[in-house]
């Protein structure tokens, strides 16, 4: 598939937290493993991707939750993987050296069950080839740490405060839609040193086996992603846009983006970059199609760059 980011007068490049991205598309944590999964698909090109966020990583290895861990729902997917990963040291020593850093950027996704663990993971990734660190304070699938930090604005800020002195790399805080006041959380994490925001993480949901009368997900609840949550994601981006813009902090919009129309909605609402997750399961070659669609839209509306489109939402007539 042709890489559209470099073959047209339409400029799809953008900047995010001081980083130059060749396109606004970011592959989200947990959906492409540690960055190697989609390179095996014929027609996939990293040149269509601004950055890849690695699978959520903790200080020590984790086995993850008991099955079932994934379940398809109408217009979406529930997952409760439980941050299965080999630990930060293994990722840094054994995985990162083999990734194509010359083709796109790779960002870490840091997780912890204590402030000290978050800080240590940040310090480890600071001495690695990743160009940014996303902070997962809002994962609803881990019983210790995740939900508490993500749903408490003050604790969310404390996580950023703990990590900020440990790294010079941009920190991007992933906000939970389950938070009662997402704008307040956005403000506090920015004041604590966050260079960017990921909006939003999954919603909490569950599914039931009516024959057995038991939860289908082994963890009982899971994170709901996919098209079903897109309206929520757009609203949360709208809620955080003013705070982010006031501080000059960009938003990575995510949650149900599966086609170019969705991408346009996210950009117009205020997403400086576009996160693709569950949509890649629908169509592994989605990135090139979205790049092509963005170029066509921008040309039609006499815009020359993706940045012209971001935050262009108008008031109702």
What CA–CA distance (Å, rounded) separates 127 from 166? 10
What CA–CA distance (Å, rounded) separates 263 from 284? 16
What CA–CA distance (Å, rounded) separates 239 from 177? 11
Reduced 3-state DSSP string for 150-196: HHCHHHHHHHHHHHHHHCCCCEEEEECCCCCCHHHHHHHHHHCCCCE
Q: Which residues pair with 273 in a beta bridge?
A: 252
Q: How far is CA 67 from CA 16, 81, 117, 132, 206, in A?
A: 37, 8, 26, 31, 14
Q: What share of the chain is helix, strand, coil (3-state, %, to 5)?
A: 35, 20, 45
Other beta carbons less than 10 A from residue 181's beta carbon: 12
**Strand 222-225 with 203-205, pairing:** antiparallel
200's tokens: 């939003």
5's tokens: 């980011």
What CA–CA distance (Å, rounded) separates 282 from 278? 7
Task: Decide if 139 is catalytic.
Answer: yes
159-169 core/surface letters (b: 16 or more CB in 10 A; e: else): bbbbbbebbeb
By annotation, the residues acting in catalysis are: 139
């Amino acid at each position: 598939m042709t890489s559209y980011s470099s073959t047209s007068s339409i400029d799809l490049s953008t900047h995010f937290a001081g980083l130059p991205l060749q396109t606004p598309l970011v592959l989200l944590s947990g959906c492409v493993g540690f960055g190697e999964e989609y390179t095996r698909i014929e027609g996939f090109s990293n040149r269509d991707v601004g950055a890849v966020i690695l699978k959520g990583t903790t200080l020590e290895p984790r086995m993850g939750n008991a099955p079932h861990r994934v379940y398809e729902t109408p217009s979406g997917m529930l997952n409760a993987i439980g941050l299965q990963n080999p630990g930060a040291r293994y990722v840094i020593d054994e995985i990162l050296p083999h990734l194509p850093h010359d083709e796109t950027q790779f960002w870490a996704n840091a997780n912890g069950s204590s402030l000290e663990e978050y800080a240590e993971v940040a310090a480890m990734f600071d001495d690695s080839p990743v160009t940014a660190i996303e902070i997962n304070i809002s994962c609803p699938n881990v019983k210790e740490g995740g939900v508490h930090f993500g749903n408490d604005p003050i604790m969310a800020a404390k996580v950023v405060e703990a990590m900020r002195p440990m790294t010079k790399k941009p920190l991007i805080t992933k906000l939970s839609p389950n938070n009662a006041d997402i704008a307040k959380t956005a403000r506090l994490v920015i004041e604590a040193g966050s260079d960017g925001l990921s909006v939003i993480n999954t919603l909490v949901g569950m599914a039931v086996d009516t024959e057995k009368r038991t939860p289908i997900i082994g963890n009982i609840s899971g994170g709901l992603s996919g098209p079903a949550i897109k309206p929520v994601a757009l609203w949360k981006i709208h809620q955080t846009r003013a705070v982010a813009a006031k501080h000059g902090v960009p938003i990575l919009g995510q949650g149900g983006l599966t086609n170019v129309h969705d991408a346009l909605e996210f950009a117009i609402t205020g997403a400086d970059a576009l996160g693709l997750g569950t949509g890649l399961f629908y169509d592994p070659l989605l990135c090139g199609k979205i790049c092509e669609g963005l170029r066509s839209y921008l040309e039609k509306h006499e815009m020359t760059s993706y940045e012209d489109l971001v935050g262009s939402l108008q008031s109702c007539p």
